[in-house]
Amino acid sequence: MKRISLTLCLAFLTVLFCQAQVAPLKFNKNGEFKIVQFTDIHFQYHNPASAIALKRINEVLDAERPDLIVFTGDVVYAPPADTAMRAVLDCASSRKIPFVVTFGNHDNEQGKTRAELYDIIRSMPYNIQPDRGSVESPDYVLTVKSSDGKKDASVLYCLDSHSYSKLPDVKGYDWLTFDQVNWYRQQSAAFTAKNNGKPLPALAFFHIPLSEYNEAASDENAILYGTRMEKACSAAINTGMFAAMKEAGDVMGTFVGHDHDNDYSVMWKGIVLAYGRFTGGNTEYNHLSNGARVIVLKEGERTFTSWIRLKGGELKDKTVYPDSYVKDDWRKRPLVTE
């Protein structure tokens, strides 16, 4: 018993030590903060088809050298889930890059609960998620400090979009709860109040898209970049998270996964609704070559630049929020005579 207790204590202290070594997230001296989003890796530890996923992750990280990595769900897709999760996350840990994970609907189907996986993720060096306490999988906020480190300059919301509907008469995927919407509203209001009533530029990351993704993508007046080869598989019930974000005024864009044949970004009522790029191998359906989404925030401005990075350094669909998504006034264009 004493030996087991000592082992657990050492493991706990190791986690604390590793997290203590991670410096606070902050904008660099050029006023930029870079995020790489990986999604739907569907990693199977003993399956050679998953090798391309790790290869692409490593290639992207070597090329982009981000300040933060966000894995937006469906990281593991077969037992042993703990070994698989560590194999994927080691790509970040070995490079000493801070990272977080938001769960997808498949992660806890591989022999480990969300709570067990959360603790495994937390045990990895350079993970910066908070302790979950008594919650199975908490929502949490990351702050990005100003380049001088003196104040919060940007906010990143990380949410658990759950798995499947728990109501027998409602089929399909689960939804963000009213408690989550209220949690977001409270967090956003607190940051705004601290910033003298001005909302801080913010982004949100989760796995399952909001129903507004389909509304935006089907609107002829919305500007869309990227590939849309399937309908967004959102929840059947809309609990108002998008409305809350719109009212709060801080979130510039949401970034999800879940639908492997989508990698688009589209403006909807002033908020960009974006997908990451499928990062996995041929362990699940896919018709897009695997890659990642890159997001660069600019200090002190309500803007971000984003693009998709693919094999061999190929970049596609580079956009700037909000400029790339706003139609110009044709009446104000310079006179063209030829």
Predicted TM-score (pTM) of the model is: 0.93
Interval 27-45 mean pLDDT: 98
Q: Is residue 4 in a domain?
A: no
227 has a pLDDT exceeding 50? yes
Q: Residue 293 maps to which CATH number?
A: 3.60.21.10
Q: Is residue 333 in a domain?
A: no
Q: Is residue 80 in a domain?
A: yes
Q: Which domain holds residue 241?
A: 30-328
Q: Per DSSP, what are the bridge partners of residue 204? A: 157, 254
Residue 1: which pLDDT band, with cuts at 50, 70 and 90? very low
In this predicted model, what pLDDT tens digit does every residue of 231-277 receive, in sequence order?
Answer: 999 998 999 999 999 999 999 999 999 999 999 999 999 999 999 99
Q: Is residue 109 in a domain?
A: yes
103 has a pLDDT exceeding 90? yes
The pLDDT of residue 19 is 53
Interval 105-134 mean pLDDT: 97
Residues with Cβ within 8 Å of 105's Cβ and at least 6 positions away in sequence, in order, are: 73, 74, 162, 163, 164, 173, 174, 207, 208, 258
| 113 vs 337, higher pLDDT | 113
The number of distinct structural domains making up the chain is 1
Q: Is residue 247 in a domain?
A: yes
Residue 10: which pLDDT band, with cuts at 50, 70 and 90? very low
Q: Is residue 68 in a domain?
A: yes
281 has a pLDDT exceeding 60? yes
Spatial separation of the C-alpha atoms in residues 196 and 200, rounded to whole Å: 10
Q: Which of 17-31, 157-171, 294-308 has the lowest mean pLDDT?
A: 17-31
Q: Contact, 63 vs 315, CB < 8 A?
A: no
> Residue 154: how many CA atoms within 13 Å on its side-chain side?
30
